[in-house]
Structure formats: C-alpha cells, structure tokens
Amino acid sequence: MKLIYTIILLIGVTVLQRCGAGETKRNQQQKISQQPIINPSVASVFAIQKLNQAPVLCYHNIHDVTIGAGSDYTVSTNAFKAQVKILADSGYHTILPAQLWTYLIDGTPLPPKPIMFTFDDTHREHYSIAALELEKYGFKGVFFIMTVCVGKPGYMTAGQLKALSEKGHIIGGHTWDHFDLRTLHDKDWVVQLDKPNLYLEKIIGKPVQSFAYPFGAWNDAAIDELKKRGIKEAFQLSGKQSEKEPLYTIRRILVAGNWSTKQLLSAIKTSFK
Ligand SMILES: [Zn+2]
C-alpha cells in the first residue's frame, strides 16, 4: 500500500512540475532569486492526509509578567524559557517551513519529534528574548513580519531581521499593516503583499516564501494571490486545514500565557495528531 501511494505521489509531482513550467513568473523585480514553483495542491492532498501533522506553535508578546498571568497573546519570559527547555529536554527538534514543505510534498522525513516555533507581529522581544533562547538549544524559529512596524519603538529593526536570517531563522510575511486578507481588493494586494515582501527580501537578501495570515483568516482568493507571489506555504491558526489547499492552511496553536509546561506538551499531542 505504501509503495502504491509513493508511486502515485511521484507521478503526481512529476506532472505538476511539467505543468508548472508554463506558469506566469512572478515579477522579477519582486524576487531576488526565483525557484520553480510547483503547485502542490493536487499531489499534496493525498500525501498530507496520510501524514501526521507536525506541531507548529504561535507566539506574540513575550514579556516579564508573572507565570500564569498571561493571555493567549502574552507569555511571560520565564514561561517561554521553561517551554523551550522542556521541549529540548523532551527530545524535540525544531523544523523550518522548507523542511515541512518537502515532508508534505514528497515524504522527506522530518527529524524525530519535530516542532516549529513561529512568532507574529515583529515584536522586539522576538529578537532580544525568543531567538536568543532558541539558539541556546540549537533551535531555529520563524518570524512573521508586519512591515509597517519595522524600526518603530517596541519592534524589531531591519538590522535585527537581517541578523535573524543570517543566523538561519526564517523571515516570513505578515502583510504591511495586518489587514484581514479576505477584505482586500485589487491594489490592496500591492500594498499588503507585493511591497512588504519586496521590502523584506531587500533586507534579508533572500526570497520570502512563507506567510502567516493576520488573524489566521484566509479564503480561496487570498491563497491564489499568495501563490502568484511565490509563497510556498501559509500558516493559519487552529482552524480546520483545507483538504484542497493544505499547504496554504497549515495549522498552528496559540501558546496560552497561563499554560504550564505540562499543559504545553499535552496541547501539542492533542492538537496535532
Ligand atoms: Zn498578527
């Protein structure tokens, strides 16, 4: 059965690679380097349904508040440090979007106990606390950037984004000023996707290929716009993954500020099966 599944998948990917050669290329001005984009929709549905979901964690604010006093959007510095430590001590290995993509597309194995750390909204503590803590354990993270904030008080600077990228972390898009993609029309896409991605690519000197939906909100039109711009995978929150577009509706869980490390481990197991 596994052999049949592998053969079907390989045929599907080959066909899609050929079809992909004729796809409209993204505006060269917007890409520093361009790899062929495979539309994975058809091939990957079959694959993804057969594979377990790798856990993806989502953080926003990390502040010096008392453990347990945070909200869904604020985790204390000490709680965050304890969470990273327990995951390292429990044998988890961080993965990045490109690894998840190849795993979902062709079954390339992930390391044992994979986990992805993602950070939304450009907060300065993502650089000053989160990345430093991850690096203590050889971990890497994914940082989704709302570009209107870059360089503003309380947010990361362009230099910090570049430093994160150079250290092997991933910089992804999160629009210019956090609009719900379901409400965008025509020229809005230039403001919310084209310009922010170009801006980030100039800073880090690499293509931006990952995206997180503001509010976790997506629809088919938004997915089409992301595909046109070379985005290879997009992350929502804990809503249901689309069977038609699994790579553009990757699920994440918000790590609640009042979770103990035990609750975090339990949530990872129950939310990603
Ligand atoms: Zn956000």
pLDDT of residue 35: 38
What spacing in Å lies between the alpha carbon of 174 and ligand 1's midpoint?
A: 7
Number of residues written out for the chain: 273
pLDDT of residue 51: 58
What spacing in Å lies between the alpha carbon of 196 and ligand 1's midpoint?
A: 14
Pick from 56, 54, 93: nearest CA to 255: 56
What spacing in Å lies between the alpha carbon of 210 and ligand 1's midpoint?
A: 14
Q: Is the dihedral of CA 137, 138, 144, 150 positive or negative?
A: positive
Place of tokens 């577009």: 245
What spacing in Å lies between the alpha carbon of 121 and ligand 1's midpoint?
A: 5
Which long-range contacts link 68-73 to residues 24+ away (Cβ below 8 Å)? Answer: 68/257, 68/258, 68/260, 69/257, 69/258, 70/256, 70/257, 70/258, 71/256, 71/257, 72/254, 72/256, 72/257, 73/254, 73/257
pLDDT of residue 27: 39
Q: Which token pair is 43?
A: 């091939």
What spacing in Å lies between the alpha carbon of 214 and ligand 1's midpoint?
A: 5
pLDDT of residue 84: 98
pLDDT of residue 67: 58
pLDDT of residue 85: 98
* Burial label, 144 (beta-carbon count in 10 A; 0-12, 13-18, 19+): buried
Topology annotation, domain 40-271? TIM Barrel (3.20.20)
What spacing in Å lies between the alpha carbon of 143 and ligand 1's midpoint?
A: 11
What spacing in Å lies between the alpha carbon of 1 and ligand 1's midpoint?
A: 41
pLDDT of residue 65: 72
What spacing in Å lies between the alpha carbon of 191 and ligand 1's midpoint?
A: 16
What spacing in Å lies between the alpha carbon of 2 and ligand 1's midpoint?
A: 39
- CA–CA distance, 23 with 37 (Å, rounded to integer): 8
User: Using an 8 Å Cβ cutoff, are 144 and 174 in contact?
Assistant: yes
Place of tokens 């495979």: 38
What spacing in Å lies between the alpha carbon of 120 and ligand 1's midpoint?
A: 5
What spacing in Å lies between the alpha carbon of 175 and ligand 1's midpoint?
A: 9
Flag residues of the chain having pLDDT under 50.
1-43, 46, 49-50
User: Using an 8 Å Cβ cutoff, are 230 and 207 in contact?
Assistant: yes
User: Using an 8 Å Cβ cutoff, are 121 and 178 in contact?
Assistant: yes
What spacing in Å lies between the alpha carbon of 5 and ligand 1's midpoint?
A: 37
What spacing in Å lies between the alpha carbon of 89 and ligand 1's midpoint?
A: 29
What spacing in Å lies between the alpha carbon of 257 and ligand 1's midpoint?
A: 17
What are the extents of the domains in the chain? 1-35, 40-271
- CA–CA distance, 216 with 272 (Å, rounded to integer): 17
Q: Which token pair is 255?
A: 């790590």
What spacing in Å lies between the alpha carbon of 130 and ligand 1's midpoint?
A: 17
What spacing in Å lies between the alpha carbon of 15 and ligand 1's midpoint?
A: 36
Q: Is the dihedral of CA 152, 155, 160, 165 positive or negative?
A: negative
